[in-house]
């Protein structure tokens, strides 16, 4: 019997769920199927679903509350078994599952504008998570409108920036939408100590967020600033000690501030489309250990957070900055740095005029 079948069976029998089951619901959890029979549907909610532990718990909890759940997975370049995630969502009771390939529009509509704006938060972080969230939320709203859903939901916690990015994007594009944020609802978060509780159960030493732009790593053992990032942490970049001694020589052609062509002068490889260019630069950058960072960042709500990341797009930002300095008058630099910083807006999820 699979883990999902075991969870569903124990729910039907109203048996307590403990750490032997990956859903980790409380002892008085009641069968969601029985609850739906006892109450009218509360409406339809589109859940930004990752297939992971937290959003799987949220899916079941939303059904318990009487909602019809549409699970939506965005493919923005992460290494994910999407069909396995679809199957999991269906077994947990999702009414419908959308898997949307957003990679092309992610690069064209979100990454390239960040490159044009030299968006580097606190001079180090290239905003891989910040830029992705509005892309995900935009399609979530489109699905909600298409399905006639009046609710959307996400798995962002109440102490980070993601909740703001998701929700303000949704409100901007669908002003009448209602947002269900379980990690801010006591009935949900009282069943858990928080993400740490889920990570301990999943035996994960840190949490990750992955897309075309980066993989970021935080929480767990990384919470202690004295702890060095383990050698096996980084998944997209090689250690410089293990990188080739022979360089790849790349020529990047820019137009209007964004790359339009990349050529490898060593093996004559050439890429022209936005997605191909970005993916190829990731490949070459990762091969040579380009783009590893380990930082402590300031979050919008006032807390500091340590984060390590693979951010290979430094291979774009370096040449882009060189072109900027070659062509822009020195006084323009002063005006630019005194103006509203695009990186800060993207990081927070909105323009803060305070």
Residue 334 buriedness (CB in 10 A; 0-12 / 13-18 / 19+): exposed
Calpha distance 320→336 (Å, rounded):
15
- Residues 65 and 195 grouped into a single domain: yes
- pLDDT given at position 88: 94
Range of the domain at 312: 215-348
Distance, CA of 286 to CA of 275 (rounded, Å): 16
Query: Catalytic: which of 10, 32, 68, 162?
Result: 162
Which pLDDT value is given to residue 36?
40
**For residues 126 and 122, what is the distance between their CA atoms, to the nearest angstrom?**
9
Same domain, 194 and 242: no
* CATH code of 323's domain: 3.90.1260.10
pLDDT tens digit sequence for 271-327:
999 999 999 999 999 999 988 888 888 877 778 888 888 888 766 777 777 777 777
C-alpha distances (whole Å) from 257 to each of 114, 117, 126, 132, 151 are 10, 8, 16, 20, 38
Examine the residue annotation and report whether 209 is marked as an active-site residue of this protein.
no
Give dist(CA 226, CA 214) in Å, integer.
Answer: 24
Give yes or no for residue 200 having a pLDDT over 80.
no
- Same structural domain for residues 193 and 237? no
Whether the CB-CB separation of 244 and 288 falls below 8 Å is answered with yes
Task: Tell me the C-alpha to C-alpha distance, in Å, between residue 46 and each of 76, 103, 173, 175.
Answer: 18, 20, 15, 15
d(Cα 291, Cα 208) in Å, to the nearest integer?
16
Question: What does the pLDDT read at residue 12?
Answer: 33
Neighbouring-strand partners of residue 97: 71
Phi, psi dihedral angles at 343 (to 5 degrees): -65, -40
- pLDDT of 66 reads 94
Closest CA to 129 of 66, 185, 220, 211: 211
| Known catalytic membership, residue 162 | yes
pTM of the predicted protein model: 0.79
| Domain finish residue from 179, 205, 231 | 205
Q: Looking at the DSSP assignment, which residues form a beta bridge with residue 68?
A: 44
The total number of structural domains that make up the chain: 2
Q: Cβ distance 93 to 234 under 8 Å? A: no
In a domain, 269, yes or no: yes
pLDDT value of residue 309: 87
Q: Which of 256, 289, 283, 257 is nearest to 271 (CA)?
A: 283
What share of the chain has pLDDT > 70, as a percent?
A: 78
Please say if the pLDDT value at position 138 is more than 60.
yes
Q: Give me the CATH number covering residue 175.
A: 3.40.50.620
What is the rounded distance in angstroms from the CA atom of residue 166 to the CA atom of residue 69? 18
The mean predicted confidence, pLDDT, of the chain is 80
What local confidence, expressed as pLDDT, does residue 195 receive? Answer: 58
Residues 180 and 229 in one domain: no
Task: Please indicate, yes or no, whether residues 11 and 67 belong to a single structural domain of this protein.
Answer: yes
Backbone torsions φ then ψ of 49, nearest 5 degrees = -110, 135
**3-class SS at 169?**
helix
Residue in the block written with tokens 């080739």: 244
**CA separation for the pair 101, 109 (Å, rounded):** 14
Instruction: Compare 334 and 111 and report the one with higher pLDDT.
Output: 111
- The verdict on 276 and 176 lying in the same domain is no
Answer whether residue 48 is part of any domain. Answer: yes
Query: Which residue of the set 56, 130, 207, 219 is catalytic?
Result: 207
Instruction: Quote the pLDDT of residue 334.
Output: 65
- Per-residue pLDDT at 93 exceeds 60: yes
Selecting among 54, 68, 209, 310, the annotated active-site residue is 54
**Structure token digits, residue 277:** 């260019």
Q: Which residue out of 10, 86, 103, 133 is catalytically annotated?
A: 133
């Amino acid at each position: 019997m699979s883990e999902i079948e075991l969870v569903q069976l124990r729910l039907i029998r109203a048996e307590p769920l403990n750490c032997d089951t990956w859903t980790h619901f409380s002892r008085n959890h009641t069968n969601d199927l029985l609850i739906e029979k006892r109450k009218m549907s509360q409406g339809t909610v589109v859940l930004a679903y990752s297939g992971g532990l937290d959003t799987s718990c949220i899916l079941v909890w939303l059904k318990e509350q009487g909602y019809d759940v549409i699970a939506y997975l965005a493919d923005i370049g992460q290494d994910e078994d999407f069909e396995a995630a679809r199957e999991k969502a269906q077994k947990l009771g999702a009414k419908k599952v959308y898997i949307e390939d957003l990679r092309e529009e992610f690069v064209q509509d979100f990454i390239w504008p960040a490159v044009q704006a030299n968006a580097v938060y606190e001079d180090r972080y290239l905003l891989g998570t910040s830029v992705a969230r509005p892309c995900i939320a935009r399609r979530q709203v489109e699905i909600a409108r298409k399905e006639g859903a009046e609710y959307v939901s996400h798995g962002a916690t109440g102490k980070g920036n993601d909740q703001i990015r998701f929700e303000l994007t949704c409100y901007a594009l669908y002003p009448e939408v209602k947002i269900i944020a379980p990690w801010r609802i006591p009935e949900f978060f009282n069943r858990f100590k928080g993400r740490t509780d889920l990570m301990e159960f999943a035996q994960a030493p840190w949490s990750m967020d992955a897309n075309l732009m980066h993989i970021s790593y935080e929480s767990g053992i990384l919470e202690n600033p004295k702890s060095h990032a383990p050698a096996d942490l980084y998944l997209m970049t090689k250690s410089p000690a293990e990188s080739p001694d022979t360089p790849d020589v790349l020529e990047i052609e820019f137009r209007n501030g964004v790359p339009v062509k990349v050529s490898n002068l060593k093996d004559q490889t050439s890429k022209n489309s936005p997605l191909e260019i970005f993916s190829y630069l990731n490949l070459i950058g990762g091969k040579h250990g380009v783009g590893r960072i380990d930082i402590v960042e300031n979050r919008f709500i006032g807390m500091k957070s340590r984060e390590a990341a693979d951010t290979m797009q430094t291979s774009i930002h370096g040449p882009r900055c060189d072109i900027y300095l070659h062509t822009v008058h020195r006084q323009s630099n002063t005006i630019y740095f005194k103006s509203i910083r695009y990186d800060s807006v993207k990081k927070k999820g909105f323009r803060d005029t305070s």
